[in-house]
Structure 1
Amino acid sequence: MRKITFLTTLLLISFLCQLTAQKLYFPKAGEWQEKQASEYQLDLSEAVEFAKSNEYSGSRDLRQAILKGFQHEPYHKLLGPTKRRGGPAGMILKDGYLIAKWGDTKRVDMTFSVTKSFLSTTALVARDKNLITGFDEPVVDYIWDDTFEGEHNSRITWTHLLQQNSDWSGQLWGSFDWADRPPQDQGIDEWRSRELHEPGTYFKYNDVRVNVLAYSLLNVFRMPLPKVLKQNIMNPINASQSWRWFGYENSWTTIDGLKMQSVSGGGHSGGGMFINTEDMARFGLLFMNNGEWNDKELISEELITEAMQASAPNPNYGYMWWLNSKGDRHMENIDTSIFYAAGFGGNFIIVDQKNNMVIVTRWLEPSKLEDFLNLIYRNI
């Protein structure tokens, strides 16, 4: 009798899981079905108005905003393309359906460090394809040149690069690792001669090291990462053809006799991902559903779970996704299970797997993110 009860319970759980999965909607190319937020007992009007009225305070001329934002960095200059941005825009999805939107959701804008989450996704693709057999392996075993040579750099693994705790030391595309967001109470001589941290023990948000990851993955795939992303992720999720992923004017290398551009992981020096709000929402929906899009697995669920594990030196950071775990970046009234991509100027993709929600907001004053989310979640 107990065995029958146990089997019945398992069947019921399986049925409920299938029922939940059937509720999810995956939009076809160029369309998006809408539902009223009230169907889910939600009132999002105040949250939408808040996003529209709390625009990022920096200039809409992003060339000017970038140069001002990073003016304290030695040798900083623009090496990749920029584009004047639009106004606040966003989308909120529930079960895949569009339940709120504002602004021009089809406008292509820079998305800055949200690009990092797209970059880490190409690493997950490489792991799924067994081009990388383990993220705990030293990157030096995969790269032919001297990028990872030396006592320190040779100990750096893929995990260290993905979690931004490698403390890689060197120069790439004319940029020095120590010149990226350096301490303001020190000078150039101190930055150059600093003591290196053991890989995996010290978190440092650093675009040069992120670009080292992009360059390493380019060497692994032996094809440009935008093509990898397009074939394996963006085409299968029915994204538009308007997104672009740029590197720098000097970030070119030759692989198999072909000249290829190594892309950047953000817009710190220009470049990075240029994308519309709707494509960002599709990308978020893929992660909300653990890498599966309309019954097709694009990324293994195990890898997505791994990517959202907190790193040892930073409880709020996984594989280039921010986590709402307890830590310096914890948002007190928001569930600790959510994770999100974040970029300069207030670009965010928030993924909430518990509530089957994806929230994309663009050009929101970054300090207002928690207030904005509180307005959404107060009725949930």
Structure 2
Amino acid sequence: MRWEHLLRQTSDWQGTLWGKPDWADRPEGKTPADWPNRPLRTPGTHYKYNDVRINLLALSTLYVWRKPLPEVLNEKIMQPIGASSTWRWYGYDNSWIELDGKKVQSVSGGGHWGGGIFINAWDLARFGYLFLRDGKWKEQQLISKDWIAMARTGGSANAEYGFANWFLNPGRKALPNAPETAITFQGAGRNVIYIDQQHDLLIVTRWIGNGDELNQLVGKVLAALPD
């Protein structure tokens, strides 16, 4: 299992983390009795959006940085882009570890079970604008262009999913009204950052429906742009 498998949601990791088994998020099988006995796949061959495995990615990253990930995000990204001080990134009551003699909370990657990032629309827009400009803010390259190129490339198991939370639009299948190069970041409740470099366009939506609502919104905005 490699970092790329965790980022592309293709690790098929099996286990329990913070009291939550891997099958707890979007379980497979016809009955609850089937859930713990799911088929095992070779890493990289099967895509499944799974918050337990994203939590594993967060924990692994914590051991690399050796400091709380909210501090890393704040120092490396949120402060340089001028984000507010109101956003919060939470883990769970039991997701604490001892790291270098200190108690540190491992944050969660998704909004399931009470964790995740809580953030306002203005901060989401600034975060999205950073990627509209290929990781550059003013004169500072905050995120590697090489990393962004990998993140916006679909994997072999799912061409519509890049690195963690990069939803792509090959063949304009997900968003028929948008260009193929459009990208979305999506969070629980369907809070969305839409990034469209072809039209130099950034859209932030909050609590939009899970159906065709986003595609309709994008179509209306693009139709309103000057030729």
TM-score, with structure 2 as normaliser: 0.95
Within 5 A, what are the aligned runs for 1:1-380? 156-183=1-28, 185-188=30-33, 190-320=34-164, 321-326=166-171, 330-367=174-211, 368-380=213-225
- Which has the greater radius of gyration? 1
> Which residue identity does 1:332 align to in structure 2?
P
> Which residue identity does 1:283 align to in structure 2?
F
Q: Give the deviation of 1:346 after TM superposition.
A: 2.2
Are 1:316 and 1:326, in contact at CA under 8 Å, matched by a contact in 2? no
Contiguous gaps of at least 5 residues in structure 2: none
Contiguous gaps of at least 5 residues in structure 1: 1-155
Higher relative contact order (CA 8 A, sep 6+): 1
Are 2:95 and 2:107, in contact at CA under 8 Å, matched by a contact in 1? yes
CA distance in 1, matches of 2:221, 2:189: 21
Q: Give the deviation of 1:172 after TM superposition.
A: 0.2
CA distance in 2, matches of 1:173, 1:232: 27
Q: Give the deviation of 1:288 after TM superposition.
A: 0.5
State the percentage of identical aligned residues. Answer: 48
Q: Which runs of 4+ in 1 moved over 4 A?
A: none
Tell me the SS of whatever aligns to 2:12: coil
The structure-2 alpha-carbon separation of the partners of 1:161 and 1:333, relative to structure 1 and needing over 3 Å to count, comes to same
The total of aligned residue pairs comes to: 223
Are 2:108 and 2:116, in contact at CA under 8 Å, matched by a contact in 1? yes
Alignment RMSD (CA, Å):
1.2
> Which residue identity does 1:285 align to in structure 2?
Y
Q: Deviations over 1:9-46 (max 9, x none)?
A: xxxxxxxxxxxxxxxxxxxxxxxxxxxxxxxxxxxxxx
Q: Give the deviation of 1:344 after TM superposition.
A: 2.3
Q: Deviations over 1:298-339 (max 9, x none)?
A: 011111111110011111100021001137x52222101011
Q: Give the deviation of 1:378 after TM superposition.
A: 1.8
TM-score, with structure 1 as normaliser: 0.57
Tell me the SS of whatever aligns to 2:217: helix
CA distance in 1, matches of 2:196, 2:104: 36
Q: Give the deviation of 1:187 after TM superposition.
A: 2.9
CA distance in 1, matches of 2:47, 2:159: 10
Are 2:28 and 2:38, in contact at CA under 8 Å, matched by a contact in 1? no
Q: Give the deviation of 1:186 after TM superposition.
A: 3.0
